[in-house]
Amino acid sequence: MNKVLFIDRDGVINKEKEYVHHPEEFEFIDGVFDALKKFNLLGYLIIIISNQAGIGRGLYTEEDFKNVSEWMLEEFRKHEVIITDIFYDPHHPVYGVGKYKKDSFDRKPNPGMIFKAVKKYDIDLKNSLLVGDKLSDIEAGINAGVETLFLVRTGHSVNEIIIPAGCTVIDALNDIFKFLG
């Protein structure tokens, strides 16, 4: 079975901005290449799981998302980082338009994207990690059975009063290695 680093995109990999969907808008967070390369060297598969409500809201298309994702993956390859896969959910239960207006089992905090990855890559959730910048990311990990959860402060503001038990708050992605031994 494979161990995986599940990682949110906006606010964890790239700086949090409103609905990033073009390479010129995409700004990597300092240290992300080094941190993810370390995870590759430690034998982790890296899987991005991302809500993409901007698609559902009609602000950009799935093709726009796929194009910026391909550009991002190429930037990772240039830095010798292997991203195994990207799972995304374009729906929004309230603000979605047309076919995108629905409550999806894949939209975090639901665990659907994680379960799809488990099925596709034979993942051991007990030895996997999840990093997000919002409570909905952490809740998705809890709902899927991921035991090691990190909430990073590089994206949305963190209210430490409501952090679930078992979740560690970190300032940056590289801080994870202080906890992994």
> Which CATH number covers residue 28?
3.40.50.1000
Instruction: Count the domains in the chain.
Output: 1
CA distance 138 to 152: 10
The per-residue pLDDT for 18 is 87
Stretch 75-81: mean pLDDT: 98
The per-residue pLDDT for 156 is 78
pLDDT tens digit sequence for 117-162: 999 999 999 999 999 999 999 999 999 999 999 999 988 777 777 8
Catalytic site positions:
8, 10
pTM strictly above 0.85: yes
DSSP label of 38? H
CA distance 91 to 94: 9
Question: In terms of residue numbers, what domain contains 115?
Answer: 4-180
Give the count of beta carbons closer than 10 Å to the beta carbon of residue 157: 7
What interhelical angle do 112-121 and 135-144 show, nearest 10?
Answer: 50
CA distance 147 to 82: 23
Q: pLDDT band at 180, cuts 50/70/90?
A: confident
